[in-house]
Chain A
Amino acid sequence: MATTITMPQLGETVTEGTVAQWLKNVGDSVEKYETFVEVSTDKVSAEVPSPVSGTILEIIAKEGETVPTGAPIAVIQEIGGAEVAAPATHVPAAPTAPARPQADHGARAGSNGASVNAPDVLRRVSPAVRRLAREHRVELAGVRGTGAGGRITANDVIAAAAHGPASGVAAAIVAERPAPLAPASRTRPPTAPVPGELLPLTQARKIIAQRMVESKHTAPHAWTMVEVDVTNLWAWRQREKERFARDRGAPLTLLPFFVRAVVESLHAFPLMNARFTDDGILVHKDVHVGIAVALDSNLMVPVIRDADSLSIAGIALAAARLIERARIGKLSADDLAGGTFTVNNTGANGSVLSAPILNGGQAGIVTMEAVVKRPVVVDGDAIAVRSIMNVCLSLDHRVVDGAVASAFLVDLKKRLQAMGPSGSL
């Protein structure tokens, strides 16, 4: 019997996945529960176990191909079932071509107009548009939508198809490119490639690039910073960290103290725990704090859910679990979803000042910069050596103005400065 293997659902919010690597080829045998393919989705990769024992009959989705959740990726001929269930000549019930999204090689409009449509609009493609685009071999990325909100309509596809391969869109873009100034004086034509090594984009790199561009282009970023005296907090943490590591099995870094102060400030300034939508500003009821985790070649932001319900110790344990899962590549898509605000521990890399990019449509992101000892003027105009940490905030200026953002940051500063050895974990 032939069993069709489909792209698994790797999280509630995940709609598609990419075949990262086939561990088996056509003809190879595979045991039940044996890993035979690796898929990646969003920023998670997962190993897919075979549901049956058998032989790989067909590989439908090639490496690097992205298919919707539930779409067939392979067919396995089950051991023992073949003679009974299907005659030898029977072609296994492999899904037919339409279920398989294919790259439209030779598509007409080509990539020239790729910037015409934002991914948001492309996501809302009607069944008729999808079918017509396939029939007429039209690349939707190059079609200008005339429907509501720039949606591509069926008629738009038909019009694009009528336009033909050497479309006016491409010609117009070429024409708009400014002519190089005084080309004769150049020793090398401006189009000659500059020597260098081209690093192929990993899936993670592609997603990071896309998200960063999207965020920078969509949200007008504003930036502000405060200096925080964390001398007392530092002392508290120094006093507790060994016992905490021994009793609870997790390191006690500055992060949980910081996140605890952040969620308290978010409660005082709910507008910072929000996102901009076309319909209005969506103020979140829940506080889910994303924590940026830097890996060798990747950046992940797992989310501490309902961080406002956790004590400092609780946050420390939750963060430790997430960071460990991130390091071994076992974060689930749900671990990464739903953040309402982000904390970035840039100080871990020695930075004292940074201007972070907003994450996932959130209204704000704060950084914890490196704690440095500095001479500062304290009460009574005396100069003292104190542990100082810069805290930087990037904000979506569509959601809040500088006054609210600064008030939030000052509130956060007060809470951090109030933390000391007399506190409770």
Chain B
Amino acid sequence: MAVTTSARVMNNVEAVRETLHDALVRDERVLVMGEDVGARGNVFLITKGFLEEFGPSRIIDTPLAEASIVGVAIGMAMEGLRPIAEIQFADFIYPAFNQIVGEAAKTRYRSNGDYTCPLVIRTPYGGGVRGALSHSVSIEALFYHVPGLKILAPSTPADIKGLLNAAIEDPDPVLFLEHKKTYRSVKGDVPDGYYTIPIGAADVKKAGTQLTVVSYGYNAHQALDAANRLDGENLSVEVIDLRSIRPMDRATILESLRKTRKLLIVHEDNKFGGIGAEISAMVVEEAFFDLDAPIRRLCGPDVPAMGYAHALEDEFMISTDRMAQAMRDLIAF
């Protein structure tokens, strides 16, 4: 990480935008491609003005064909470019599943190291923005089973900048997840200048002694709010933001757990087979004799999609109140 002396406040959209912009300026191999990233400037205006500044050979509006977006980007990456492909909403990534899982993730292995696939796939994910069935999904669990694929889900502007830079630098494919609900609701200091954050390093957002909470994305902010609220009740909660889903920072989780002996995992993605299942299994395998309570998971319900009705969406999303209560219960156990 480069040493920086100054910082500016920005939100998550601005952090993505500035990082992409700087990468395009810094490295002429970098290009951005996806649906509406050119003339429209991306549906969240992340790439607004990029087409004018960098031209149509580096800012490429694609057809509505996700398999092609990723497939073309894989070819570009294998031949020396640094494509940043955008899937407009994570809900649309399914047609590209074969390209991501069957091709990109296996490129290095299949070519015995002769080829790598330095591809970044960015996509907004998650609910809480009244996006209903087709604009709310969490996809991390669909991909985290796949060796050869890195998955990042940073939650703050500074982490987004450092990890997006690391993803662009990485020689292998990286799925870069941006939680829509944090796009404009989360603001924070972003250090000036170029820097990276190591992929695979979690961040302890708040230190505590009685309970470890592991989360990521929008939930990490809520968990932090809940933990701060519990300070007022003399309850001490440690909050870990995973930032990197795969590779996962086992050491940080285990170190925290060995201190607090209790673990709550929070994620918006469905519970069954989710990221929390892997964390639970890992902790039980590695630190069984440090556990003083059953591991608890607070997750999205196992229903096919987020409903359009507000009541259904509210039920799906995990409220900060529910998190605080789960923390109290586990500390009291």
Contacts and interface: CB of A to CB of B under 8 A. Distances in A.
A131 B258 CA distance: 13
B333 A127 contact: no
B289 A128 contact: yes
B333 A131 contact: no
B333 A128 contact: no
A130 B293 CA distance: 12
Contacts of B289: 127-128, 130-131
A145 to B, nearest CB: 11
A128 B291 contact: yes
A66 interface: no
A110 B332 CA distance: 27
Contacts of A358: none
- Is the interface on chain A under 10, 10 to 19, 20 to 34, or 35 or more residues? 10 to 19
A127 B288 contact: yes
B79 interface: no
Interface string A302-341: 0000000000000000000000000000000000000000
8 nearest CB pairs, A to B: A128-B292, A154-B292, A131-B289, A126-B292, A127-B289, A148-B333, A128-B261, A127-B291
Contacts of A130: 289
A147 B292 CA distance: 10
Contacts of A129: 292
B290 interface: yes
A147 B288 CA distance: 19
**Helix, strand, loop or mixed for chain A's interface?**
helix
Contacts of A153: 292, 333
Nearest to A154: B292
Interface in A112-156: 126-131, 147-148, 151, 153-154
A130 B329 CA distance: 22
A43 B292 CA distance: 32
Nearest to B293: A126
A130 B291 CA distance: 10
Interface string B288-325: 11111100000000000000000000000000000000
A148 B332 contact: yes
A149 to B, nearest CB: 9
Given A126-B293, A131-B290, A148-B332, 8 more contacts: A126-B291, A126-B292, A127-B291, A127-B292, A130-B289, A151-B333, A153-B333, A154-B292
26 contacts: A126-B261, A126-B291, A126-B292, A126-B293, A127-B288, A127-B289, A127-B290, A127-B291, A127-B292, A128-B289, A128-B291, A128-B292, A129-B292, A130-B289, A131-B289, A131-B290, A147-B332, A147-B333, A148-B329, A148-B332, A148-B333, A151-B333, A153-B292, A153-B333, A154-B261, A154-B292
Interface of B: 261, 288-293, 329, 332-333
A154 B289 CA distance: 11
A131 B261 CA distance: 12
Contacts of B333: 147-148, 151, 153
Contacts of B261: 126, 128, 154
Nearest to B209: A155
A126 to B, nearest CB: 5
Nearest to B260: A154
Interface string A58-92: 00000000000000000000000000000000000
Nearest to A153: B292
B290 A128 contact: yes
A126 B332 CA distance: 14
A18 to B, nearest CB: 25
Most buried by B among A127, A147, A148: A127
B270 to A, nearest CB: 28
Nearest to B329: A148
Most buried by A among B290, B291, B293: B293
A154 B262 CA distance: 10
A127 B329 CA distance: 19
A229 to B, nearest CB: 57
A127 B295 CA distance: 12
Contacts of A151: 333
Contacts of A148: 329, 332-333
A350 B261 CA distance: 59
B294 to A, nearest CB: 8
Contacts of A127: 288-292
Nearest to A156: B292
Contacts of A131: 289-290
Nearest to A125: B292
Contacts of A126: 261, 291-293
Nearest to A129: B292
A122 to B, nearest CB: 15
Contacts of A128: 261, 289-292
A153 B290 CA distance: 12
A128 B263 CA distance: 13
A233 B293 CA distance: 58
Contacts of A147: 332-333
Interface string A145-182: 00110010110000000000000000000000000000
Contacts of B288: 127
B259 to A, nearest CB: 11
A88 B261 CA distance: 43
B164 to A, nearest CB: 39
A127 B293 CA distance: 8
Nearest to A157: B292
A36 B333 CA distance: 44
A128 B291 CA distance: 5
A54 to B, nearest CB: 33
A65 B223 CA distance: 47
A127 B291 CA distance: 6
Most buried by A among B292, B332, B333: B292
A281 to B, nearest CB: 26
A158 B155 CA distance: 37
A153 to B, nearest CB: 6
A342 B333 CA distance: 36
Contacts of B290: 127-128, 131
A154 B292 CA distance: 6
A130 B261 CA distance: 13
A129 B294 CA distance: 13
A402 to B, nearest CB: 39
Contacts of B291: 126-128
A128 B261 CA distance: 7
